[in-house]
Amino acid sequence: MTDSPKSIVRRTPWPESSSRAVVTPLQPSVVYASPSPSALDDQYEGRAKGFTYAREGHPNAEVLATKIDALEGAEGGLILGSGMAAVTAMFFGLLKQGDHVVGGNQLYGRSMRMMREELPRMGITTTLADPTDAAAIEAALTPDTKLILLEVVSNPTLRVSDVDGIAKLAKERGILLAIDNTFTTPRGLVAYDHGADIVLHSVTKLLAGHSDATLGYIALHDPVLRKRVYDTAVTLGLTPSPFDCWLAERGLYSFELRYDRAEENARKLADALAETPGVRRVLYPTRPDHPDHNRTVALLGDRGGNMVSFEIEGGRDATDAMVQAAPNIAFAPTLGDIGTTLSHPASSSHRALSAEERASLGMSEGFFRVSVGVEDVDMLIAEFRTAIAAAMDAAGT
């Protein structure tokens, strides 16, 4: 392998090796050279496998998709540039002007904005309804309803949707059911097993798990619909970065270990918070005092997930003091990181709402959401207790 000075601009071949790398290679190539026009024909006609242009697909996305497919029991899942890219590809790939969509009324903030602002601009009407009540979803359906979008566990009040009731309804009416399984993950619920036609993820969160890659995933049962969503995604340019796919694949190897540990931590933290002075209430789906406890047990068994919400006494003085007294718990608006993160809906995700609207959703100033990580749980509980005690001092209670 010798390069002459004249050929310096030509690519140098990859070094030969009789041994092979253990780790998946990172392949950032935007474009793939074909041996001949006939070979390219074979590829485009599906007679041969191969890549052409990264916006249409690349090896790192395919490796990652195959792994998430295995978790979801799906085939041909697509990796896109973000969770919202998956939501976008679904809506714009499957719907047209005049169609109607029903969504849960506590969807992820940007999915809600998609329903309230973006789809109506395109002539697609939408209704948000309570997903814990199949009758409320049924009442929202119209003859033009083509799709229902649900999350299993809502953000941030952790209400559990009536997935089975709504799936039955969707099937009877011939309406597509899409489940955004980001919070619950296939470890908690396999969406296809519960009647979903479409399953979506923000891979950014628990699946990748390290807050260093922004990606989405979508799988569709029906290959015709899958092709439509694929073409829309490629046309809209919702391409994932190979490096992000590579990072997410690495994260995914430990997903089940991380999820199980974080879930066990969350259950223990929820129980400890419930006993902590200054805590008004704790929300965790498998706790007997959770408003959807029975449905949680029927739907998810003991898989309560890694998210815990709780409310402390006091106002902004108390919430500021609590965050400041927990310097090792990142006060950051995300979830699913290996480390525990804390968010405060009143000053972040739900700040656009009035205090009255937030109160009606059960989110006072003292309301926090915790994405529990894989730390030592006793350390975590001690950190929260210290922080809440500081909050109560600041509030003078």
Site map (CB under 6 A) of ligand PLP, residues 55-84, x = contact: ---------------------------xxx
For residue 276, the tally of other CB atoms under 10 A from its CB is: 17
Calpha distance 211→334 (Å, rounded): 8
C-beta nearest to ligand PLP: residue:
83
282, 210, 190: which is closest to 201 by C-alpha?
190
In the complex with ligand PLP, which residue's Cβ is closer, 205 or 350?
205
In the complex with ligand PLP, which residue's Cβ is closer, 77 or 83?
83
Verify binding: residue 161, ligand PLP, rule CB under 6 A: no
In the complex with ligand PLP, which residue's Cβ is closer, 303 or 321?
303
Verify binding: residue 151, ligand PLP, rule CB under 6 A: yes
187, 193, 114: which is closest to 149 by C-alpha?
114
DSSP-based helix, strand, coil % in the chain, nearest 5: 45, 15, 40
Stretch that binds ligand PLP, among 113-121, 200-208, 229-237, 246-254 (CB under 6 A): 200-208
* Of the residues 99, 180, 311, 365, which one makes contact with ligand PLP according to CB under 6 A: 180
DSSP-derived 3-state class of residue 337: coil
Q: Any residues with CB less than 8 A from the CB of 339 and at least 6 apart, and which?
A: 329, 330, 373, 374, 375
In the complex with ligand PLP, which residue's Cβ is closer, 111 or 319?
111
In the complex with ligand PLP, which residue's Cβ is closer, 161 or 395?
161
Minimum separation from the CB atom of position 155 to ligand PLP (A) = 6
Stretch that binds ligand PLP, among 179-187, 286-294, 307-315, 381-389 (CB under 6 A): 179-187
The single residue listed with the structure tokens 């890219």 is 85
Verify binding: residue 214, ligand PLP, rule CB under 6 A: yes
For residue 36, the tally of other CB atoms under 10 A from its CB is: 8
Site map (CB under 6 A) of ligand PLP, residues 309-348, x = contact: ----------------------------------------
In the complex with ligand PLP, which residue's Cβ is closer, 202 or 265?
202
Verify binding: residue 202, ligand PLP, rule CB under 6 A: yes
Verify binding: residue 204, ligand PLP, rule CB under 6 A: yes
Verify binding: residue 205, ligand PLP, rule CB under 6 A: yes
Verify binding: residue 364, ligand PLP, rule CB under 6 A: no
Q: Which helix (H) or strand (E) holds 179?
A: strand 176-180
Verify binding: residue 263, ligand PLP, rule CB under 6 A: no
**Sheet of strand 341-343, all strands in order from the earlier edge strand to the far edge:** 279-283, 307-312, 367-371, 341-343, 330-331
88, 167, 73: which is closest to 122 by C-alpha?
88
Verify binding: residue 349, ligand PLP, rule CB under 6 A: no
Tokens of 346: 């009143």
Verify binding: residue 240, ligand PLP, rule CB under 6 A: no
Verify binding: residue 184, ligand PLP, rule CB under 6 A: no
DSSP-derived 3-state class of residue 352: coil
In the complex with ligand PLP, which residue's Cβ is closer, 240 or 366?
240
- What single DSSP character describes residue 84? H
Calpha distance 182→244 (Å, rounded): 17
Bridge partners of 217, per DSSP, are 79, 201
Instruction: Tell me how many residues contact ligand PLP (CB under 6 A).
Output: 14
Q: What are phi and psi of 296, to 5 degrees?
A: -60, -45
Minimum separation from the CB atom of position 87 to ligand PLP (A) = 6
Cis peptide before 156 (omega within 30 of 0): yes
Please give the residue ranges that form the binding site for ligand PLP (CB under 6 A): 82-84, 108, 111, 151, 180, 182-183, 202, 204-205, 214, 216
